[in-house]
Amino acid sequence: MNGEPTIQLLPEELQNQIAAGEVIERPSSVLKELLENALDAAATRVAVHIRDGGQSLIHISDNGQGIAEEELILAVTRHATSKIRAVADLQTLSSFGFRGEALASIASVSRFRLASAQREGQGAFVEVHHGKISDQGCLALPRGTEIEIRDLFASVPARLKFLKQPATESRKCAEILLRIALANKLVDFSFQQGDRELYRFLPGQTLRQRLTAVWPEHILETAKDVSHPDGGFQVTGLVGAPSTAQARPDRIYLYVNNRPVQNKTMLSALREAYRGRILGKEYPQAVLFLSLPPAEVDVNVHPAKSEVRFQDDGHIFRLIRRAVLHCLEENHAPLEGRTQELSPEASRTPTLSTTPIALPLSTRETYREYTIEAPPKFSGTKFAAGLCPDPEDRLPLRAPQTPETLPSTEPRFTYLGQIAKTYLVLSTGTGLVLIDQHAAHERVLFNSIRTHSTKNSKQPLVMPLALTLHPAQATEVQDLWPRLLALGFTLELETPHRLLVHAIPPLLSAAASKEFLEDILSAKARTIEDFWALMACKAAIKAGDELATDEALSLIEAWRQLPDRQYCPHGRPVMISWDVKELEKLFKRR
């Protein structure tokens, strides 16, 4: 056969255009590549100007080391790079770039101009229009590099169609610049959008100072620094207070060896650390920098280099979780901090035993009987709800000196009353505290169930409870059988569709037990922790239950002793507080 061969090498511009599809998706990806090049060239000042979301203009200038005149053409040639020489170099990579295809790709889908000087005043330029060199020459230029991109994607209608409104594309560009600026704090960055300067980051600012450009003051004020070195690995950055968690994950910035990344392992470790402190649907704020030996991570997973793959995902997960958790545990137990501030001796002279107190009376119904039969004194001790089976372990709570005040070592921690039969109001002397009574009691019960098995202290029922089961529930019940026995239930499957309950955990009333089992069987709980949480929820006093003063005091006292008192087992806050400063702000005194 003669004529043209069937298989042909594509013309170079077309190769570049195809590659461009992978590397540069939109104006912000162009900007990312250009910023990375400037940083790789050791620039200390980078100025960016975009118009129309970057589509009509992206202009960037830097004061980096520049490109030699004879290498300008190479810079815009695909797979030409100054950053690696061999595959092995990827193992020790310290630059952002290494693929040598960004400039070639960008120049293949725009009107592109690159000007550069390695020495002051002695520069050169090259112009490339949609992949073809259209002009080149010499010009006087300060040391550094200047790139101008016009009409991005004008020759690629398919790509143009996918671009969003200019305002959205502008926002994405601003986001990229911000993310890079947060990781390169010694570099001076400016960012101009149309005729407006959006950001100016001065060199040498701290992470917090840079974040003030974008994060609200109250988030930054309560955010805490993370610093967690661990051998050749290190996690640093800053995490938001659980109370400022938000519905969207748009204030989470992750970095690996200073490179902004999207990474599921790091993200899930971060969320895991906040578990129990924020709601399942909420996201914290976090800026986390992970540094690790380059051999531990593969950055060449995707042309855009925003994904990475770790050698050991499990190790990274545990490292991040530990770093964040450590910071949260240290910083977010405000009530404790506050009481210690108020009365330093309180922490040294505990007036109440922290041993859980055995009192099987925990549901609202049983409590009422109890108060009638054996009135007040320590009627509220049930809230201390330990579940030790041995009655000798029961320790009476100390009677408050005056009914409204908690133990005398903390004279300024005063219970003021209940509002809406739901919230307990406290004064700390220098602040105001609201406690959600249901959430607090849930937390007390949950911790108690977690530490003390309920199995040895069943309450036998004179009349067994009967539950009708759907066929699916019948198998479910059998699967859950051992777990239910361990919780203190005695069960009998009378027929495949009828479950009899002969004994129930001491914590639950008969009615609450029935609700608990129904919820369990409709798969509302999966893990053992879910079981405990559900049990605590069913047994706890409810919103709308009126509490006598001593009941409220006992509840507060029992709750106050817990290490993780801030959140209920579902992650809702138990307590909200305002210190004097915050009150002054609310009253506009400051």
In the block, residue with structure tokens 């609310």: 586
Among Mg ion, ligand ADP, none, residue 407 binds (CB under 5-8 Å by kind): none
Whichever of 99 and 210 has its CB closer to Mg ion, that residue is 99
Whichever of 78 and 382 has its CB closer to Mg ion, that residue is 78
In the bound complex, what is the minimum distance in angstroms from residue 110's beta carbon to Mg ion? Answer: 16
Pairing outcome for strands 45-51 and 188-193: parallel
Among ligand ADP, Mg ion, none, residue 551 binds (CB under 5-8 Å by kind): none
Binding string, 104-123, against ligand ADP, x = CB under 6 A?
x-------------------
In the bound complex, what is the minimum distance in angstroms from residue 21's beta carbon to ligand ADP? Answer: 16
Stretch that binds ligand ADP, among 98-106, 349-357, 434-442, 464-472 (CB under 6 A): 98-106
38 binds ligand ADP, rule: CB under 6 A: yes
81 binds ligand ADP, rule: CB under 6 A: yes
33 binds ligand ADP, rule: CB under 6 A: yes
Separation between Cα atoms, residue 262 and residue 589, nearest integer Å: 43
Separation between Cα atoms, residue 476 and residue 276, nearest integer Å: 27
From the list 20, 24, 67, 491, which residue makes contact with ligand ADP (rule: CB under 6 A)?
Answer: 67
103 binds ligand ADP, rule: CB under 6 A: yes
Separation between Cα atoms, residue 159 and residue 161, nearest integer Å: 5
146 binds ligand ADP, rule: CB under 6 A: no
98 binds ligand ADP, rule: CB under 6 A: yes
Whichever of 37 and 437 has its CB closer to Mg ion, that residue is 37
In the bound complex, what is the minimum distance in angstroms from residue 18's beta carbon to ligand ADP? Answer: 16
Query: Is residue 68 a contact partner of residue 118, using CB atoms and an 8 Å limit?
Result: yes
Task: Please report how many Cα atoms fall inside a 13 Å half-sphere around the Cα of residue 304, on the Cβ side.
Answer: 18
99 binds ligand ADP, rule: CB under 6 A: yes
Separation between Cα atoms, residue 153 and residue 109, nearest integer Å: 5
Whichever of 37 and 362 has its CB closer to ligand ADP, that residue is 37
In the bound complex, what is the minimum distance in angstroms from residue 202's beta carbon to Mg ion? Answer: 25
Q: How many residues bind ligand ADP (CB under 6 A)?
A: 22
324 binds ligand ADP, rule: CB under 6 A: no
452 binds ligand ADP, rule: CB under 6 A: no
Handedness of CA 252, 256, 260, 261 (dihedral sign): negative
Among ligand ADP, Mg ion, none, residue 449 binds (CB under 5-8 Å by kind): none
From the list 16, 17, 29, 37, which residue makes contact with ligand ADP (rule: CB under 6 A)?
Answer: 37
From the list 53, 66, 97, 431, which residue makes contact with Mg ion (rule: CB under 5 A)?
Answer: 97
380 binds ligand ADP, rule: CB under 6 A: no
Separation between Cα atoms, residue 149 and residue 24, nearest integer Å: 13
338 binds ligand ADP, rule: CB under 6 A: no
55 binds ligand ADP, rule: CB under 6 A: no
Residue nearest to ligand ADP (CB): 97
User: Among residue numbers 99 through 118, which ones bind Mg ion (CB under 5 A)?
Assistant: 102
100 binds ligand ADP, rule: CB under 6 A: yes
Stretch that binds Mg ion, among 93-101, 244-252, 279-287, 508-516 (CB under 5 A): 93-101
256 binds ligand ADP, rule: CB under 6 A: no
Among Mg ion, ligand ADP, none, residue 98 binds (CB under 5-8 Å by kind): ligand ADP
User: Which own/partner pairs from 228-233 qualify as long-range (CB within 8 Å, at least 24 positions apart)?
Assistant: 228/319, 228/322, 228/323, 228/326, 228/327, 230/319, 230/323, 232/292, 232/293, 232/296, 233/290, 233/291, 233/292, 233/293, 233/296, 233/319
User: Among residue numbers 36 through 55, which ones bind Mg ion (CB under 5 A)?
Assistant: 37
The separation between CA 154 and the C-alpha centre of its own chain, rounded to angstroms, equals: 39
Separation between Cα atoms, residue 10 and residue 13, nearest integer Å: 8
The separation between CA 263 and the C-alpha centre of its own chain, rounded to angstroms, equals: 13
Handedness of CA 305, 285, 184, 170 (dihedral sign): positive
83 binds ligand ADP, rule: CB under 6 A: yes
Separation between Cα atoms, residue 268 and residue 166, nearest integer Å: 32
Instruction: Using alpha carbons, list the distances in angstroms from residue 534 to 358, 454, 455, 458.
Output: 20, 14, 16, 18
Cβ-count burial 102-112 (b if 16+ within 10 Å, e if not): bbbbbbbbbbb
Query: Is residue 119 a contact partner of residue 69, using CB atoms and an 8 Å limit?
Result: no
Q: What is the DSSP string of 417-469?
A: EEETTTEEEEE-SSEEEEEEHHHHHHHHHHHHHHHS-STTS-EEEEEEEEEE-
Among Mg ion, ligand ADP, none, residue 62 binds (CB under 5-8 Å by kind): ligand ADP
Separation between Cα atoms, residue 515 and residue 520, nearest integer Å: 9
Instruction: Give the number of residues written for the chain.
Output: 590
Among ligand ADP, Mg ion, none, residue 81 binds (CB under 5-8 Å by kind): ligand ADP
In the bound complex, what is the minimum distance in angstroms from residue 169's beta carbon to Mg ion? Answer: 21
What is the maximum span of the chain, computed from C-alpha positions, in angstroms?
108
Among Mg ion, ligand ADP, none, residue 411 binds (CB under 5-8 Å by kind): none
242 binds ligand ADP, rule: CB under 6 A: no
The separation between CA 288 and the C-alpha centre of its own chain, rounded to angstroms, equals: 10
394 binds ligand ADP, rule: CB under 6 A: no
List the Cα angle 332/334/335 in 5-degree steps: 140
Among ligand ADP, Mg ion, none, residue 82 binds (CB under 5-8 Å by kind): ligand ADP
Whichever of 95 and 155 has its CB closer to ligand ADP, that residue is 95
145 binds ligand ADP, rule: CB under 6 A: yes
In the bound complex, what is the minimum distance in angstroms from residue 171's beta carbon to ligand ADP? Answer: 24
Task: Please report how many Cα atoms fall inside a 13 Å half-sphere around the Cα of residue 431, on the Cβ side.
Answer: 16
Stretch that binds Mg ion, among 2-10, 33-41, 269-277, 507-515 (CB under 5 A): 33-41
Which residues contact Mg ion by CB under 5 A?
37, 97, 102
Which residues contact ligand ADP by CB under 6 A?
33, 37-38, 41, 62, 64-67, 75, 81-83, 97-104, 145
